[in-house]
Amino acid sequence: MARGAARTPSFVFLSFVLLLICFATGGMQSVQGQKTWCVAKPSSDEATLLGNINYACSQVDCSVLQRGRTCFYPDNLMSHASIAMNLYYQSRGRNPWNCFFKNSGLVVATDPSYGSCGYA
């Protein structure tokens, strides 16, 4: 019995290390090569969403969000942040860490495109 108890800590440690490797390499994605998108978490506050828009749009072209363009409507922070975050995520290779945005981003496998606004 003591022999099995001695193995438990190393098994837990090994499991923890494997879990960390999975997260670090993006191995937790459901299907290798599956198309994914980045959207804002619904629980994100307005300041966070605005910060995400400002950061993402300083790195990528967010002109689709301008009035009269394909992704302006609906004209709200959640929608605009999701589009900006996704533009950034797509441009950086769709790595899970490129959708982190201080834990306010969410990688999804369902295309969030709507109307004439196509998420890349």
Q: Provide the residue ranges of all domains of the chain, joining segments of one domain with +.
A: 1-30, 35-120
Strand partners, 106: 39
Separation CA 118–CA 120 (nearest Å) = 6
pLDDT tens digit sequence for 8-50: 454 444 344 444 444 444 444 444 678 999 999 999 999 999 9
- The predicted-structure confidence for 71-114, as pLDDT tens digits, reads as follows 999 999 999 999 999 999 999 999 999 999 999 999 999 999 99
Prediction pTM value = 0.73
3-state secondary structure 9-73: HHHHHHHHHHHHHHHHHCCCCCCCCCCCEEEECCCCCHHHHHHHHHHHHHHCCCHHHCCCCCCCC
